[in-house]
A and B are shown apart, each in its own frame.
Chain A
Amino acid sequence: MARAAQRTRRGGGIRRGEARAGYLFIAPAVIIAAVFLVIPIVLAFWVSLSDWNGFQSPLNPRVGFVGAENYAAITTEEGLDQRNFGRAVRNNFYYVLLVVPLQTALSLFLAVQVNRAVLKGRGFFRTAFYFPSVTSSVAIVIVFQFLFLGTGAVNAVLRAIGVQGPNWFNDPTGIFHGFLTLFGVTAAPGVLADGGMLGVTWWEWLSGPSVAMMVLSFLAVFTTSGTFMLLFLAALQNIGAEVEEAALMDGAGAFRKFFSVTLPMLKPTLFTVLTLGLIGSWQVFDQIYILGGGAPGGTLMTPAYLLYESSFVDLQWGQGAAIAFILFVFIILLTLFQRWLLRDRKPKRRGPAQATVTGGVS
């Protein structure tokens, strides 16, 4: 072995041709990454600074450079484009606010339950909770549309307990606004109607998620909780039974044990799940596309879908690309934040499994 290592370092005849093989082996992956990822991103950045309207190539000489105009149109200049972007940010913000805490709590709960040593049939339960995560978004949306019809299964269940459910996917009412309506408040008080941000008044910012957006959030939780459950499960198995045993022997109750022994040890995974959730929930596109794009009342519109609609439907490619880059920078910042959070805890982590898992997702 030692001799072999020496030979390696010297680089003798046996290693000849290795560099050439190396380039050859890595070439397909590098070429695909360069041609279909790096170069296109540079090209899109140019488009975000140009007035290209989708006609011919964005590199043809008639396309003009407009500087930061596209970015200004959606952020600082008053108008429809700014308001659309503002609304999309608001909608997505409420989506994140609903989805991230719910999916984290639910997946942690499921993992703890499924991890119980005495539980019978946990294979079955894992399968049940994880299955929605592998199914296609198109199929899941169809299922949810069917469940949440005005005359659908969910309303049938609600009727059985005496509640009249809304027409879920077609209801644009913001739930905070809806709640205020119960007290007769239907219009904005002056302060909230005048001021605003991104062309959206404070009153509108405070609308809450629309009923349709609530359903979309349930859908997201339904499809992601299984994945995150597995992350927590891996971490729980690393903690091992002994620590928990010890706590139980000490006479700690189940709740005490969970909050003062298990949860602190899960901290790195908890951070991972929270940040991955944050990163993922700013990228909702599929579901909104399938639901027909932003309806009802534009309350399902997200920045990720708006960038598609601006460019591919409205042919305002510059603005679409500008939204994409704003989103890009924002998500990269979240990713860096996550890496920073997790790097601090590295010495405490056990086993390489977790590192791989996080690497694989992000």
Chain B
Amino acid sequence: MTASTNQDEAVMTPRRRTTTKPRRKKLGAKARSSLLLGYLMLIFLALVYIYPFLISIAGSFKTDSEATQNPLGLIPETITFAAYEQLFANSPFALWAGNTVFVTVCVTIGRVLFDSMAGYALSRLKFRGRTVIFVLFIGILSVPGVVLLIPRFLILNEVGLYNTYGGMIIPLLSTAAGVFIMKQFFDSIPESIEEAARIDGAGNFRRFWSVVLPMATPALVTIFILSFQGSWNELGHFIVSRQSQDLNTLTVGVAQLVSGTLGAGNQFPLQLAAAVLMSIPVAVLFFVFQRRIMNTTAGAEKG
């Protein structure tokens, strides 16, 4: 999938360059005014999309009363870190963050490894039942996540993994979508590349690990982004796979904070501070991999 998008870009970039010039010349004033109108509309919409985040960040530095009395202001009258201090003093925010980091790291490593192994097997290695397994994986793709809430709880309870890190992590270690992405990518690498290594006597695992996998970096990065973002933001599975407060992740803990079990009433700066802090890692990931995210994974979010 990455290969094809890169191709698109390669085709698009020169084309764009050649067409912009004549267009500008031919469509003088009328086009320019429509462009201006488009700009104004886009700027307005961009404000609608960004402003909520900005006033939330600002709100987290306000006092409780200022946050409710002057919600629109971008610069607090008195900048206070009280909300952040309270967050760490009155709730086990650090513990939640630790759990989230641990789970996210495990899930991400597992998915990168298992999805690429399965994708490689489905794409390259010949064994009986390969087609059947592939078709089953395609079928699994369309199982909606919310339907799995009860089944996942039942099985974790049955095998004794309920309320353990294992129960929170293992079911997320591989996804059909990830296997599918990896298989597609391996399909796009010509088999002749491995042939040399094969003739040199490199075994299957060796070829996978040191020949094919390094070539698959773009697809691996895609899997990495998807699973990091997915497991960092995961809520449903962590609601049904644990009960102990010690196993709270950021999503579960902050959700409890919001619905009032932990935080009291109108402490909006506190909630906003929690929202800001928990969004930082994914925001950083987003800005680092911005180009890749917006080109290749496209809609593959929330899968």
Contact = CB atoms under 8 A, between A and B. Distances in A.
A286 interface: yes
Contact of B258 (A145, A147, A254): A145
B235 A289 contact: yes
12 contacts: A17-B204, A40-B154, A43-B155, A126-B294, A136-B250, A222-B49, A292-B260, A308-B149, A308-B150, A351-B8, A353-B8, A360-B181
Given A17-B204, A362-B142, A230 B299 contact: yes
Contact of A143 (B53, B158, B204): B53
Interface in A256-272: none
B123 to A, nearest CB: 10
Contact of B192 (A1, A135, A138, A311): A1
Interface in A270-327: 276, 279-280, 282-283, 285-286, 289-292, 304, 307-308, 311-312, 317, 320-321, 324-325, 327
B158 A361 contact: no
B24 A21 contact: no
A341 to B, nearest CB: 14
Contacts of B236: 285-286, 289
A131 B120 contact: no
B275 A143 contact: yes
Given A29-B174, A33-B174, A128-B46, A138 B299 contact: no
A359 B146 contact: no
B147 A59 contact: no
Contact of B300 (A22, A289, A311, A361): A361
B299 A227 contact: yes
Contact of A248 (B27, B126, B276): B27
B148 A331 contact: no
Contacts of A41: 143, 147-148, 151
A311 B240 CA distance: 11
Given A22-B127, A117-B20, A127-B290, A227 B282 contact: no
By CB atoms of chain B within 10 A, which of A18, A23, A138 has the most? A138
Interface of B: 1, 4-5, 8, 11-12, 15-16, 19-20, 23-24, 27, 34-35, 38-39, 41-42, 45-46, 49-50, 52-53, 55-56, 59, 67-69, 71-72, 113-115, 117-118, 120-122, 125-128, 130, 133, 136-137, 140-155, 157-159, 170-171, 173-174, 176-177, 179-181, 184, 192, 195, 198-199, 203-205, 208, 229, 232-233, 235-236, 239-240, 250-251, 254-255, 258-260, 268, 271-272, 274-276, 278-279, 282-283, 285-286, 290, 293-294, 297-303
B4 A279 contact: no
| 6 nearest A-B pairs in the assembled complex, by CB-CB distance | A40-B151, A22-B127, A360-B300, A22-B125, A29-B118, A21-B204
B255 A37 contact: no
Given A143-B53, A240-B15, 7 more contacts: A17-B203, A37-B140, A113-B38, A134-B229, A331-B147, A358-B299, A362-B141
Contacts of B16: 117, 241
Contacts of A307: 146, 149-150
Contacts of B240: 308, 312
A37 B259 contact: no
Given A138-B235, A361-B300, A44 B151 contact: yes
Contacts of B250: 136, 138
A36 interface: yes
A362 B137 CA distance: 12
A22 B233 CA distance: 33
A361 B301 CA distance: 7
B23 A117 contact: yes
A227 to B, nearest CB: 5
A131 B49 contact: yes
Contact of A146 (B233, B272, B302): B272
A201 interface: no
Contact of B38 (A35, A119, A279): A119
B299 A332 contact: no
B150 A146 contact: no
Contacts of B49: 128-129, 131-132, 222
Contacts of B275: 138-139, 142-143
Majority secondary structure of chain A interface residues (helix, strand, loop or mixed):
helix
A360 B205 CA distance: 27
Nearest to B12: A237
A357 interface: yes
A227 B41 CA distance: 20
B117 A26 contact: yes
Contact of A44 (B154, B199, B208): B154
Contacts of A23: 121, 127
A129 B45 contact: yes
B253 to A, nearest CB: 9
Given A36-B155, A227-B301, A22 B121 contact: yes
A328 interface: yes
A14 B198 contact: yes
A57 B275 CA distance: 38
Given A222-B49, A351-B8, A360-B181, A142 B272 contact: yes
